[in-house]
Amino acid sequence: MNLNPSALNEKPLSRREFISRMALGGGALVLISGCSHWVLPGPGSKQREKIYEYIAVDYTKCTGCRTCEAICSAFNNPISVDGRMVAGPGNPALSNIFVHSFNPDVSVPAVCARCTDTPCVNACPVDQDPTTGYRAIFQDTNYGTITNDPDRCISCGNCVDACREGSVGILAQHPETDRPMRMCTLCDGDLQCVSNCPYEALSLIRVIDDQPYYRMSPDKIAKKLSDRWYDLSA
Ligand code: SF4
Ligand code: SF4
Ligand code: SF4
């Protein structure tokens, strides 16, 4: 899988550039998903740099329209009737991105953070496969995406609890199978939520150095935004 380069900023942002970009965005650009790669930063470079790639949200642009949910679901969980695919938006309940709505009005899209310490994987009680080393939920070593193995999963829900307690809490149990759902696939590299957001609130950015805003829970993000946007002391 190669991430669609048109979705990426041309060169990685340094920490200083990232902070100044946050300031330009009203301080509301928060990272919701990340993974790291070692890359050569440019033609002729010999020294590799560690690059972090994130889906970022600009909350000053997000209207809570939920287009991302419908588009994500259509791509990753297409609906079929009598074996024939149905064109158009998918079922938002099966989307891998979930838009939390808060009062006062704050919308917080959340997606798997592709955590480097994988609380979900660590919580899985299924033994590691002797060949692959995988439990019933495992992480891709290149892109950090999380996958569930339906043949080995016992639907215990431990991974969902671990995600809620140790990370962004995006995982949920499927209403019919109880297996984990809402793991971001990165859409085979062409991030559908990023390219189809009508308000350009989502972007894929490359940043040198890990970021403090990575893996913040939707509740904490909403609290920060409410404090910033609304004067609740009156
Ligand atoms: S990158 Fe794809 S799978 Fe991940 S949240 Fe966006 S649309 Fe869904
Ligand atoms: S629900 Fe499945 S993947 Fe999740 S912890 Fe239980 S066995 Fe592992
Ligand atoms: S599913 Fe949750 S715990 Fe697992 S990598 Fe994604 S955000 Fe982290």
- Smallest CA-to-CA distance from 34 within 98, 95, 111, 107 is with 111
Ligand 1 atom nearest residue 192's Cα: 7
- Distance from residue 233's CA to the centre of ligand 1 (Å): 37
96 C-beta closer than 6 A to ligand 1: yes
Q: Are strands 98-102 and 84-85 parallel, antiparallel or unpaired?
A: unpaired
Closest ligand to C-alpha of residue 137 is 2
Sequence-distant (6+) residues with CB within 8 A of 35 are 52, 53, 114, 116, 143, 144
Encode pLDDT of 172-224 as tens digits. Answer: 999 999 999 999 998 988 899 999 999 998 888 776 555 555 677 888 888 87
104 prior amide bond cis, ω within 30: yes
Q: Amino acid identity of 153?
A: C
User: What is the CATH number assigned to the segment(s) 51-113+184-233?
Assistant: 3.30.70.20
User: What is the CATH number assigned to the segment(s) 115-181?
Assistant: 3.30.70.20
Lowest mean pLDDT among 86-95, 103-112, 126-135: 86-95
Radius of gyration of the chain, Cα coordinates, nearest whole angstrom: 18
Encode pLDDT of 128-175 as tens digits. Answer: 999 999 999 999 887 788 999 999 999 999 999 999 998 889 999 999
pLDDT above 60: residue 19: no
Q: Amino acid identity of 181?
A: M
107 C-beta closer than 6 A to ligand 1: no
96 C-beta closer than 6 A to ligand 2: no
ipTM of the complex: 0.90
Render the burial of 117-145: b for 16+ CB within 10 Å, e for the rest. ebbbbebbeeeeeeeeebbbbbbeeebbb
- Smallest CA-to-CA distance from 31 within 18, 49, 16 is with 18
Q: From the CB of residue 162, how many other CB atoms can be counted at a distance below 10 Å?
A: 21
* Protein residue with its CA nearest to atom 5 in ligand 1: 97
Mean pLDDT of 42-58: 65
pLDDT above 90: residue 119: yes
pLDDT above 50: residue 117: yes
Q: Where are the domains of the chain?
A: 51-113+184-233, 115-181
136 C-beta closer than 6 A to ligand 2: yes
Q: What is the pLDDT of residue 41?
A: 43
pLDDT above 50: residue 48: yes
Domain 51-113+184-233 identical in fold to domain 115-181? yes
